Structure 1
Amino acid sequence: MESHCYHCGNHCEDTSIVHDDKIFCCNGCKTVYEIFAENELSCYYDLEQTPGTTPKEIEGKFDFLTKPEIYEKLLDFNDGSVQIATLYIPSIHCSSCIWLLENLQKLNKSISSAIVNFPKKTVRVTYNANEGSLKDIVLLLSSIGYEPYISLEDYTNTKKGINRDILYKLGVAGFAFGNVMLLSFPEYFEVDEYWLNQYKTLFRWIMFAMSLPVVFYAASDYFVSAYKGLRSKFLNIDVPIALGILVLFFRSVFEIIMDHGQGFFDSLTGLVFFLLLGKFFQQKTYNFLSFERDYKSYFPIGITKVNADHTEETIQVYDIQKGDRILIRNQELIPVDGILINGDAQIDYSFVTGESETVVKQSGDKLFAGGKQTSGAIEMEVLKSVSQSYLTQLWSNDVFNTNKEEGFKSITDTISKYFTIAILLVALASGLTWYFIEPAKAWNVVTAILIIACPCALALSAPFTMGNLLRILGKKKCYLKNADVLEKLAKIDTVIFDKTGTITHGNKGALTYEGIPLSAEEKIILKNTLRNSNHPLSRQLYDSIKSTTVLTPDAFEEIAGKGMIATYDGTEIKVGAPSFVTSNNIEKSTKTAVYISINNQYKGKYLFKNAYRQGIEELFNNLSKNYKLVILSGDNDSEKEALTEMLPKGTELHFNQKPDSKLNFVSQLQQQKHNVLMVGDGLNDAGALKQSDVGIAIAENVNVFSPACDAILDALNVSKLSVYLHIAKSAINIIKASFILSFIYNIIGLSFAISGNLSPVIAAILMPLSSISIVTFVTILTNIAGKQLK
């Protein structure tokens, strides 16, 4: 009796191993099973039968990973204790693979997390280097049947997940289609010659032989996708296609066996060829859109460069060069790898690792991109220029996944699940009807319906619409995290704005001082304290004080919503709100102000006259027509009168709002079933940005990048926010219009197919043409919508 391995499914020879009443082909598979059983992971086999792969001999194979000069090239992040590596694993093939690889921490205690990217067949492993090494991780993966492919020479290209499989399948289908058509010509033209009568049967069996690699290799993706959908109790878009191919194949085999005719091998091979051809061009087009977004959509993040003469200038983040000295302020993100020169570095690497504990660094230590400085300003020397693809990866890191996605269903998901069911019912009803009218046509009708009504065009509408608009918005310096954000923007009914740094300029406006005059030494201390902060008022005040002397504070702390405290050789300075800087009762200004005390002696205050961004009043007037508007400000109500005059009636104004107050306000609106857009500067608004349905961070001349936000908007384009929201609604209308076009196409095609006047091969040609027409349609309309930004 033939037996198969419980783990990998391979045929077991006479030397098969029995353990726990289960048969294994080798000790490797048995060992893997034992590892799973010991760690309570045996439910891995419940996800799919024989999902594993046979472990190969790995002893000594990865010894090269013990050499630092080699393994460090494979690390995405290395902070001594915490290391992160992204490994390419070709054998990832199913949902059980994903489940197992994302539970690696149960097999090795040094691993804290593992995240699988299924399309690219990679796993991103975060582990403690004090408890394990990269070699240990690779050996573990290899021992359970997921040996990583490591090539130091081509490692970068490998991780991109380049897949030429579709080209090979397209070649096989094209070769078979051409030859089957050639062998079918005599019967097409009904040539009644002796040679045809003699070789007719041979020609038919040759066509059968050529169809086998087409069905079982070239079309395999459709069967796999349909099977996985059915196994998950979901009718995906590949179910009708797989059924159409199977109907054509088995009907053709039946006809040549019973000598009823030549079958439909020409239609079958043509169908698969045109399906793959359409899929190839769709993939090429979509990859182009992805390329535009990934590599040309630079974040508008600025960084402060320290010149040789100690002057400072703000440059764009992608202009940073190796050897530059840059200044990283409190709560600012480190955009590049570098060496700490001076300052108290306490780095929060939770953006990268998910661990919130800060890491203390000394002068000369290496700092990694993605860390956030949490204790004053530091200076560092750049080791390599910034990688925007790394920032993109950081922004979309699964560490920051929140509950925003729960309960959210895209417009395609809502419609497509009913589409497949309807098509299957129509095909079944039509097939049964024709079976009683003209049985010979029944198979053709069913096949033509399944092919012509393929929902590929339906499925392509949203990705191409959203993808093209993401590219267009990126060129206009509005960067959305993903396509879902665009769809969520279309549902927004409430827009909340922070005030300082969002609707006001962070570096403009009149500035006056009231109080005891500050000495030159006190101004130097004040400026260096402000140098550590990223707050818009701190930046404006810092720029107004003329001094090039740089001091490093002995201690520094910035408390959100209150202010800063720093010490220099025993001198303590407090900058911020009046209740923070002194316990004395002082007269509070009715204007926006920053208060100062030195050694617990109140000195005075700087008064700010806010300069509102150009076009803000027009923006609010446009938004008030369709949205509920709210201003949430951490400042006092000194600007209430000016804002009341400038903003439309009905705009809610709330002042003295702490970060947690803003978050709670957003949450309360959501409980009232409002869809909330929060627009802030990314500093004190991080909680509200994360809580809102869509959070937009305004980027000016400071590095305010925050994974909490869903979009980054250049400060110069804040006045265009109403246009961006209108474009988001246009995107939904474009998708709906393309759905209608797709339905019209399907109705026309179905009418011909149901009537028996459409052959399967013609349906196969029309199907990719419909997809291409949908792509062209949405591309033209999205480009027209994008012209609103000019």
Structure 2
Amino acid sequence: MDTSICYHCGEPSGKVKVCFDDKVFCCNGCKTVYEIFSTNDLSYYYDLEKSAGATPNMVEGKFDYLANDDIVNKLVEFDEEGIQVVQLLIPHIHCSSCIWVLENLNRLHSCVKSSQVDFPKKKVRITYTTTGFSLKELVVLLAKVGYEPNISLEDFAKKKVTVDRSLMYKLGVAGFAFGNVMLLSFPEYFEVEEFWLDQYKVVFRWLMFAFSLPVIFYAARDYFLAAFKGLRSKILNIDVPIALGILTLFLRSTVDIIFDLGSGFFDSLTGLVFFLLVGRFFQQKTYGFLSFERDYKSYFPIAVTKIDENKREENIQIYEVKAGDRLLIHNQEILPIDCILISGEAQIDYSFVTGESQAVFKSSGDKLFAGGKQKGGPLEVEVLKSVSQSYLTQLWSNAAFSKNKASHFQTITDRIGKRFTIAILTIAFVAATFWLFADASKAMNVFTAVLIIACPCAIALAAPFTLGNMLRIFGKHQFYIKDTNTIERLAQIETALFDKTGTLTSASENTIFYEGMELTEQEVSLLKNTLRASNHPLSRSLYNILESNEIETLDAFEEETGKGIQGRVDEHSIKAGSAKFIGKKPDVQSLDTSVYVSANENYKGRYVFKNKYRGGISELFEQMSNDHTLAVLSGDNEGEKDNLEELLPFGTPLLFNQKPEDKLDFVKKLQIKNKVLMVGDGLNDAGALAQSDVGIAISENINVFSPACDAILDASKLTQLGNFLKLSKQAIKVIKISFLLSLCYNVIGLYFAITGQLQPVIAAILMPLSSISIVVFTTLASNFLGKKLRK
């Protein structure tokens, strides 16, 4: 057994090891979880996956709000005769061990009757009895074994989601009809004269008619509705010629069998609808596990602790909070409202809002904004606005968030479809008019034949299959796009805007360097041990980069929140913190984040914290600058201006101190002449992301909250963004080539139709052939493009 890592969670055990049962743990929390598992005969958990657990991080009183019956009633799915069923999101679910232990919760507590894990969605549905047991106790039990549920306001306000399976049903009906009609058409294809003429000709033809009825009136209904709506709005979309072709196929075929003129085109009709629905199904199949339309409800708590006039604490629903209320905010709790700090030492982490992971220190009387997380002791605050009126949530009421980008964008299929419709109708009427004078008996036949053979099924399939396959390819490379319409808009981008913090820089790493007199080995050791006792983010970052030393017990330690720390061993002392804290005059010109150090009351130097930029940023900007106008928008000050100017191409516009509304307005102004891409990560970018033609959210973890956006890009793949943009443009070229191929088929078919030579067998061959060949071509071409991303 590796004694350097924790047996339960796999994290390094560090200098202080907790040993139990001949095993090593990194902390007492992991040891406790192991004890719980082993005592309840769940030790098989460790056989399934080595070190699969998570260190439990229990916060006292965190789930007290689950004692409120009104809240519990909104969270549970079933509550009858002492039995409750609840579905909880467990972010830590990641392997077979997780599934096994969560589906064996009944061994941990007898009140749990059953539990079932939905692995892709990281959810577990639990049935339990409420006699001597409650939802709060269930959640605490899960947290104790390292599977703390994520319960948010979105769960509290959730509505029942119904899954629309109508497209699948229509596809099934069309496929069933297509297969049977093709089977019934074989005697005609192979000219089985005796069998066909003498016995079953009429029966087979009317059976094909019967199979086509559900296809026309059910499976193809959406195309007729879309064509009708388009014509009513005076728009010739691609659905108009498709609906005309389907209707003409059906009417012509029906006339043929009624008057015994032939077997009609029922095989082509059902095949056409089937392939069209396959394309539509493929187009709609996107990444359902991602949420692109989340808002503050996905992240805020569902209840808070209110302090009444008698200083009593009460858990209330978040919607009940009013201006003037006094609230108690615990450690690690998120502020759901804008408020004034009354008492307590605030260390607010605004990384959710700004992407900046360093805590902001506030004193009594300071204003705190919604979205910040307290990382210290309890705070007493006074509410300034209700949750729906806070600074943070007002961002979401901006008109940009209700804008439907797709509704203002005409797809390539619709653009070509309009011209195609006009051309086909013109050819059909001209050809029919010619034959009306040349040979009137052929006029109607030619008119219907043109509409049938020129039906743009291949054109309608080209875009869904190409762009749908690109969605899949991009997803494999951790670029998750909302829909195919977004790829078309991405191909037209002219200007790209980037946020800085958390987008160009890593949200979890800093570059730290030292300025000043060299510290002795004893001073470094004392500083390391002093930092070890502090939980401040800068202290932890600095602690991790200093050389390891033997752990010493400090004779004295003191931390002044928001100022600094000091430690003493024997006669030696060390201080680390702000310039003022260690007695040095601050440099007002410096814009850097620094930790100043003094030893035995003598100033030694400072550790300067610099943003660490993601690797390959320079190359990305160089690549994209060839085809796009680039700019950086940052909410920070100009402290990183010099670094950015060295990193980015000469002349790249850099705008600092940009508020969320400034970013949104900047995007609006650019959109007057350009198609704009916005790349950001924090919620303060949400307005600009929504306003832009395409908004891409950069995420360190794609399963956590993301602002309303059109795509989510894993942070490790940011340097591939230029390639993704190029492939989007190349995908549009593939579609245009597909249109040309389809046009070739139409020209051949139109020759036979206009000259009055169209036979059923020709239509039966050309129409499916064109559809299948377009599907094969677009799939192969898009797969070829996808290989470029592997380099």
Cα deviation per residue 1:135-154 (whole Å; 9 max; x = unaligned)? xx99xxxxxxxxx9xxxxxx
- 1:609 CA drift (Å): 3.1
* Kept in 2: contact 1:513–1:607 (CA 8 A): yes
* Kept in 1: contact 2:454–2:750 (CA 8 A): yes
Map 1:608-647 onto structure 2 (within 5 A): 608-647=609-648
- 1:781 CA drift (Å): 1.7
- Write the letter of the residue equivalent to 1:240: L
- Write the letter of the residue equivalent to 1:573: G
Map 1:385-534 onto structure 2 (within 5 A): 401-505=402-506, 506-512=508-514, 528=535, 530=537
Identify the residue that residue 272 of structure 2 maps to in structure 1.
Answer: 275
Cα deviation per residue 1:57-111 (whole Å; 9 max; x = unaligned)? xxxxxxx97738889569999xxxxxxxxxxxxxxxxxxxxxxxxxxxxxxxxxx
Distance verdict in 2 for CA 1:435–1:634, change over 3 Å:
same
* Kept in 1: contact 2:400–2:687 (CA 8 A): no
Identify the residue that residue 285 of structure 2 maps to in structure 1.
Answer: 290
Q: C-alpha distance in 1, partners of 2:413/2:713?
A: 27
Distance verdict in 2 for CA 1:762–1:588, change over 3 Å:
farther
User: What fraction of aligned residue pairs are identical, expressed as a percent?
Assistant: 37
Q: Are 1:764 and 2:764 an aligned pair?
A: yes
Distance verdict in 2 for CA 1:72–1:419, change over 3 Å:
farther
- 1:778 CA drift (Å): 1.5
Q: C-alpha distance in 1, partners of 2:765/2:467?
A: 27
Cα deviation per residue 1:371-413 (whole Å; 9 max; x = unaligned)? 997533599xxxxxxxxxxxxxxx9xx9965343442221112
* Kept in 2: contact 1:346–1:361 (CA 8 A): no
Q: C-alpha distance in 2, partners of 1:634/1:250?
A: 67
Q: C-alpha distance in 1, partners of 2:645/2:579?
A: 27
Identify the residue that residue 686 of structure 1 maps to in structure 2.
Answer: 686
- 1:701 CA drift (Å): 6.4
Identify the residue that residue 751 of structure 1 maps to in structure 2.
Answer: 751
- 1:458 CA drift (Å): 0.8
Q: C-alpha distance in 2, partners of 1:358/1:403?
A: 39
Q: C-alpha distance in 2, partners of 1:185/1:702?
A: 56
Map 1:177-256 onto structure 2 (within 5 A): 178-179=183-184, 182=187, 206=203, 209-221=206-218, 224-234=221-231, 236=239, 237-252=241-256, 255=259
Q: TM-score scaled to structure 2, two decimals? A: 0.56
Distance verdict in 2 for CA 1:596–1:162, change over 3 Å:
farther
- 1:651 CA drift (Å): 0.9
- 1:184 CA drift (Å): 9.7
Map 1:96-245 onto structure 2 (within 5 A): 163-172=168-177, 174-175=179-180, 178-179=183-184, 182=187, 206=203, 209-221=206-218, 224-234=221-231, 236=239, 237-245=241-249
Identify the residue that residue 373 of structure 2 maps to in structure 1.
Answer: 375
* Kept in 2: contact 1:742–1:774 (CA 8 A): yes
Identify the residue that residue 573 of structure 1 maps to in structure 2.
Answer: 562
Identify the residue that residue 387 of structure 2 maps to in structure 1.
Answer: none
Cα deviation per residue 1:604-648 (whole Å; 9 max; x = unaligned)? 985223433322222222222221121223333233333323322
Distance verdict in 2 for CA 1:377–1:491, change over 3 Å:
farther
* Kept in 2: contact 1:333–1:703 (CA 8 A): no
* Kept in 2: contact 1:632–1:653 (CA 8 A): yes
Identify the residue that residue 705 of structure 1 maps to in structure 2.
Answer: 705
- 1:758 CA drift (Å): 2.2
* Kept in 2: contact 1:511–1:608 (CA 8 A): yes
Residue 651 of structure 2 aligns to a residue in which SS? coil
Cα deviation per residue 1:645-672 (whole Å; 9 max; x = unaligned)? 33222211222333333333223322x4
Q: Are 1:263 and 2:261 an aligned pair?
A: yes
Q: C-alpha distance in 2, partners of 1:251/1:220?
A: 18
Distance verdict in 2 for CA 1:578–1:740, change over 3 Å:
farther
* Kept in 2: contact 1:345–1:378 (CA 8 A): no
* Kept in 2: contact 1:423–1:450 (CA 8 A): yes
Cα deviation per residue 1:246-267 (whole Å; 9 max; x = unaligned)? 4314532563xxxxxx222x23
Q: C-alpha distance in 2, partners of 1:513/1:374?
A: 32
- Write the letter of the residue equivalent to 2:275: G
Residue 651 of structure 1 aligns to a residue in which SS? coil
Q: TM-score scaled to structure 1, two decimals? A: 0.56
Q: C-alpha distance in 2, partners of 1:476/1:180?
A: 45
- Structure 1 unaligned runs (5+)? 1-63, 78-125, 139-147, 149-157, 256-261, 300-330, 351-356, 380-394, 531-536, 548-568, 598-602
Residue 573 of structure 1 aligns to a residue in which SS? coil
Identify the residue that residue 717 of structure 1 maps to in structure 2.
Answer: 717
Q: C-alpha distance in 2, partners of 1:348/1:482?
A: 36
Q: C-alpha distance in 2, partners of 1:697/1:175?
A: 48
- Write the letter of the residue equivalent to 2:593: A
Residue 501 of structure 1 aligns to a residue in which SS? helix
Query: How many residues were matched structurally?
Result: 543
- Write the letter of the residue equivalent to 1:710: D
Identify the residue that residue 80 of structure 2 maps to in structure 1.
Answer: 67
- 1:268 CA drift (Å): 2.9
Residue 615 of structure 2 aligns to a residue in which SS? coil
Q: C-alpha distance in 2, partners of 1:580/1:729?
A: 56
Distance verdict in 2 for CA 1:541–1:417, change over 3 Å:
farther
Q: C-alpha distance in 1, partners of 2:680/2:543?
A: 21
* Kept in 2: contact 1:222–1:238 (CA 8 A): no
Distance verdict in 2 for CA 1:434–1:647, change over 3 Å:
same
Q: C-alpha distance in 2, partners of 1:781/1:128?
A: 43
Residue 720 of structure 2 aligns to a residue in which SS? helix
Q: Are 1:588 and 2:577 an aligned pair?
A: no
Q: C-alpha distance in 1, partners of 2:285/2:375?
A: 36
Q: C-alpha distance in 2, partners of 1:358/1:222?
A: 59
Q: C-alpha distance in 1, partners of 2:189/2:676?
A: 62
Q: C-alpha distance in 1, partners of 2:328/2:166?
A: 36
Cα deviation per residue 1:218-241 (whole Å; 9 max; x = unaligned)? 332466345424542435243222
Distance verdict in 2 for CA 1:179–1:524, change over 3 Å:
closer
* Kept in 2: contact 1:502–1:679 (CA 8 A): yes
